[in-house]
Structure 1
Amino acid sequence: MRAKTKKNKLNAMEAHRLRWTAEAVAPRLAENKAKIEEMLGSSTDLVTQMYVQESFSFLLVYLENMAERQQIEEFITAPILQKMEKNIPEGKWLEQAISSSAGIRTVLHFGEVADALVTGSVLIFADHQSFAFSIPLNFMKGRTVEEPQSQTMVRGPRDGFVESLPVNIPLLRRRIASPLLHFKSLHAGKITQTKLVVGYMEGLVDQKVLNHLLTKLSGLKTDKLFETGMLEELLKENSWSPFPMFLSTERPDVAASALTEGKVVILMEGTPFCIIAPATFWSFFQAAEDYYQNADIASLVRVIRLIAYLVSLGFPALYIAVTTFHQELIPSELLISLAAQREGVPFPAFVEALLMEVIFEILREAGVRMPRPVGSAVSIVGAIVIGESAVAAGLVSPAIVIVVSLTAISSFVAPYYSFSGASRLLRFVLMVIASTLGMYGMLIFAIGLVIHLASLSSAGSAYLGPLAPFELEEQKDGFFRLPLWVSNTRLYKALQRKQESGGLG
């Protein structure tokens, strides 16, 4: 019943939109004013100002706080009133008065009027004219460009994307001063009409990937879209996989680097995070700082990240399997030490590990959701106090505290936070398998996981590429990073081809 009610409301909204899309602008100001007020429901932020003179009249319409009043008076109202005082033929005075305004366009229907208003434009209706002028004077106070919070680094640029597309696009243009950098605009969300911008490098991008993404973006069936995380879920081809299919970053240097590699970047109005597609499993172990230091150090760090990911995924399960089924794999001295620690612990290894993992996940979530000044303190103090208290009370052994702590630290090594979510989820599944089938079950799980990863695709590209299928040329910057002088210069070659064909004049 609730779904049916929602569908009826959406149908009513669509009918409302179609009605105003077909409604033409009237030549009478009073009629236009009444229709605008009806269309926007006499909203409190709707401003309609009627200017009536002996021979000429016009109507000024905009949404308060979406357009700056000072700019309206300086660039629109004052020039129009000055022109009205001069002897200018009827029908020409308004065009001459606002001809200096950048981005001016003519709208003929109220559907265009609504779109212009909600995006911050000012509408001017002239008496006896069946059209209106739309002038973009959108004014919204936003966050200034500052260092990204989610992807910090020791060496590298300190600027990050913000929630405004007019700010984010120049950040990419400033890094890639090439006419091959193209952008396409789309809208998604029946209710929100969220603006999306797709960026790519002409001549470098895979046209199949670009067409695949443009087709999916234009065919999105959703009512609302507020963040790129929602867009990732809608674009995901295998919705039940815990692994992210797209890279998400708020760093312009990362996005610019992806563009020069032939990838597609999707920017969204209202969020500082952009989407990079296609993504591979190995790309989640690569950070922007890898390219700002020597290749040997960068390759070593990537190996450490992979080891840390495997630890975060399977270390608790390995502890459970070894202590429960495979004690012969543990050296005698260590086995005696573990047995002494577990003496008096009332729970089996699985319950012990599960209890500590759940407690840590609660502390992690509490640290993230609490106010920033106290969040980190609560999570650190809580982990120390609860861990020591649990050991002192004999509920868990000291060894499991070390295992869970190392697992937690390893989960933070991944450069992309969304990628660690898959290991957090699969860790519990693997713990259950290890408690029932031991290391044999873990081996079966590992084989199934590799098969699952091999079956995934991101924007039509293999998720395990360039390793599977193997591409020798792409190994220059795959799991290991070779020196920059070895890397190919695809952007330079594409520019050269464009110039030879006359595409750049």
Structure 2
Amino acid sequence: MLRSKSKRDRIKELEEKRLGWAALPITERMAENEAVISRLFGKSDDLVIQTYPRESFSFMVVYLENMADRKQIEEFIVSPILNQVQEGVPAKKGWIQNTVSTSAGLKTAVHFADVADLIIRGGVALFMDGQSFAYTIPLTSWKSRTIEEPQSQTMVRGPREGFVEMIADNIPLLRRRISTPMLYFESLRAGKITQTKIVIGYIEGLVDKKVLNHIRSKLSMLETDKLFETGMLEELLKENKLTPFPVFLSTERPDVAASALTEGKVIIMMEGTPFCIIAPATFWAFFQAAEDYYQNYDIASLVRIIRLIAYAIGLAFPAAYIAVTTFHQELIPSELLISLAAQREGVPFPAFVEALLMEVIFEILREAGVRMPRPVGSAVSIVGAIVIGESAVAAGLVSPAIVIVVSLTAISSFVAPYYSFSGASRLLRFLLMVIAATLGIYGMIIFFIALVIHLASLTSAGVPYFQPFAPFSLDQQKDGFLRMPLWMTNTKLYKRIQKKQESGGSA
């Protein structure tokens, strides 16, 4: 009995066939070129092959329907060539460059790999009988989303522009904010099937070369069949695969990405998603928001402290409630202890089951609110939380105190500026609740010691995750846990650019 091929084996076989056909050179015979194109794209219904046979001159236009603009093809390519054929111009050397109206992006290709790559991305291939090369012309027709305010990182004061799914639209948003020729962009493709375009951005002379080379090396060694979003790329680029903490910042705000570039960091953009990756990232960077720099430094420092406190509440408050009420009642004031005992009278579950039940219910409501249609999602999550909380207390399943604990925990979990970072606390919260229910406060202390050790061992693009505290850097404290006044910060970008210009442009 023959064993069926695995998915990876089938992909590898198809990839070898595709590479074999793509490596073939373009011939002078148009019929052979048409046959190779048909093999490359199979029996795809959206493949358009239009041949124009003439007695003195024949040519062929190949493109994908709805990917290339058919109107522009007829207006700028087919009609001008047919007019020149009637006038007998094709005998002249270099006539095609003067004929095609959109010759700005006109290139030549001698292998089918280059032709297929452009056709897939909305271009047009022009084959001519008797010529062993093809002309490629970019005439994409797909529509991109208009630039609008980001939904995941809202703010009261600041720019309202956000990245979109097209890299070609995102790069100008950065160029407008950083007017220096030393802002470089490098592109590559990843994903054996998807061949997704990835762009690396950095400022030459300011970027850390070790970080840049580390990212280049990681991207060049990617082994994956598909890439659709930067979240998939983040997981593949992680050095430590077992940590729940994100080691890269993810943003859809151009001002945040531009600020990271001026700090010597690297950004990674991907076609098809408005989110870009910032590397390296530190633990403390997830408590910093773009709005911190658009308001006074003392207010920004206070807000950062509040975010850190809120994160601690979101992580440890339910576990602390379980540990104190179960093992360490002596830590509770007498009046509060009597009140809690009165509330828990008649509740059939211990504190751990009570807290776990409410946390699971809230997580279900949170996911329901996210997945449901927007007009009803927020209403269902809010009303559902209120109704279920009151009903659970009235039925005697939980005490009123645990409703307060879970509500405050839920609100605190939304304070973090980056949604991906709050996901780690959601996961660790349940683990900490189990530890608190078995080992009490002592178990929580052991957990936090292990957590700090784990965080200190992480790296982001080769940079310690716990910088600037481990290892300690006094200079970076100006914009670490607190934000110092802007006049105290070092204008490192200007000084390094000026130094490079004075040295004659050498790095």
Q: Same fold (TM over 0.5)?
A: yes
Instruction: Pick the aligned partner of 2:444 from 420, 442, 445.
Output: 442
Q: CA deviation at 1:100?
A: 4.9
> Aligned pair in 2 of structure 1 residues 3, 158: CA closer, same or farther (>3 Å)?
farther
1:363 aligns with 2:365: yes
Shift of 1:22: 1.9
Q: Which of these residues, 214, 217, 226, is aligned with residue 215 of structure 1?
A: 217
Structure 2 CA distance for partners of 1:261 and 1:113, relative to 1, 3 Å:
same
Q: Secondary structure at the match of 1:424?
A: helix
Q: Answer whether contact 1:142 1:163 (CA < 8 A) is retained.
A: yes
Q: Which residue of 1 aligns with 2:496?
A: 494
SS of the counterpart of 2:487? coil
**Cross-structure match for 2:105:** 103
Cα distance in 1 between the residues matched to 2:97 and 2:13: 37
For residue 45 of structure 1, what is the aligned residue in structure 2?
Answer: 46
The answer to whether the aligner puts 1:296 opposite 2:298 as a matched pair is: yes
Could you tell me which residue of structure 2 aligns to residue 30 of structure 1?
A: 31
Count residues in correspondence: 505
Task: Among all aligned residue pairs of Structure 1 and Structure 2, give the percentage whose two residues are the same amino acid.
Answer: 73
Give yes or no for the alignment of 1:411 onto 2:413: yes
Counterpart secondary structure, 1:290: helix
| Cα RMSD after superposing both structures | 1.5
The alpha carbon displacement at 1:92 in A equals 3.5
Q: Does 1:383 align with 2:379?
A: no
Give the drift of 1:161: 0.3
Gaps of 5+ in 1: none
Distance, in Å, in 2 between the alignment partners of 1:504 and 1:254 is 29
8 A contact 1:185–1:196 mirrored in 2: yes
1:54 to 2:55 alignment: yes
- Secondary structure at 2:198 match in 1: strand
Task: Work out the CA distance in 1 between the residues paired with 2:13 and 2:500.
Answer: 50
Q: Separation in 1 of the partners of 2:200 and 2:329?
A: 55
**What is the match of residue 273 of structure 1?**
275
Q: Alignment partner of 2:132: what SS? A: coil
- Which of the numbers 126, 129, 145 marks the counterpart of 2:128? 126
Residue pairs, 1:283-322, within 5 angstroms: 283-322=285-324
Counterpart amino acid of 1:33?
Answer: E
Shift in alpha-carbon separation, 1:100–1:363, aligned structure 2, 3 A: closer
The 1-side partners of 2:225 and 2:315 are apart by 36
Which residue of structure 2 lines up, in the alignment, with residue 184 of structure 1?
Answer: 186
> Cα distance, 1:90 vs. partner?
5.2
Q: Is the 8 A contact 2:77 2:101 kept in 1?
A: no
1:63 corresponds to: 64
Q: Secondary structure at the match of 1:485?
A: helix
Matched residue SS, 2:104: coil
Superposed displacement of residue 502, structure 1: 1.7
CA–CA distance in 2 between the matches of 1:342 and 1:244? Answer: 39
Whether contact under 8 Å (1:206, 1:263) holds in the other structure is yes
Please tell me whether the aligned partners of residues 228 and 268 of structure 1 are also in contact (alpha carbons under 8 angstroms): yes
**SS across alignment from 2:282:** coil
State whether residues 284 and 481 of structure 2, in contact with CA within 8 Å, keep that contact through their aligned partners in structure 1. yes
Partners of 1:216 and 1:495 lie apart in 2 by 28
Q: Secondary structure at the match of 1:175?
A: coil
TM-score by length of 2: 0.97
Counterpart of 1:194 (choices 193, 196, 201) is: 196
Tell me, in whole angstroms, the C-alpha distance in 1 between the residues paired with 2:24 and 2:182. Answer: 40
- SS where residue 102 of structure 1 aligns? helix
Secondary structure in 1 matching 2:124: strand
Match of 1:328 in 2: 330
1:106-146 CA-partner distances (Å, limit 9, x unpaired): 11111112111101110000110011000111121121000
What are the Cα deviations for residues 458-500 of structure 1, in whole angstroms up to 9, with x where unaligned? 0000000011111111111111001111111111012101211
Instruction: Classify 1:327/1:2 alpha carbon distance in 2 versus 1 (closer, same or farther; 3 Å).
Output: farther
Per the TM alignment, residue 91 of structure 1 is displaced from its structure 2 partner at its CA by: 5.5
Contact 2:297 2:484 in 1 (8 A): yes
Please give the per-residue CA displacement for 1:32-76, whole angstroms capped at 9, x wherever unaligned: 122212221131111111112221111011111111112212221
Q: Alpha-carbon deviation of 1:176?
A: 0.5
Is the 8 Å Cα contact of residues 265 and 275 (structure 1) preserved in structure 2? yes
Q: CA deviation at 1:79?
A: 2.1
Quick check: 2:76–2:101 contact (8 Å CA) kept in 1? Answer: no
Could you tell me how far apart the structure 2 residues matched to 1:211 and 1:38 are? Answer: 38
Structure 1 distance, partners of 2:333, 2:208, is 53
Q: Quick one: distance in 2 between partners of 1:164 and 1:277?
A: 21
Structure 2 counterpart of 1:259 = 261
Map of 1:456-471 to 2, 5 A cutoff?
A: 456-471=458-473
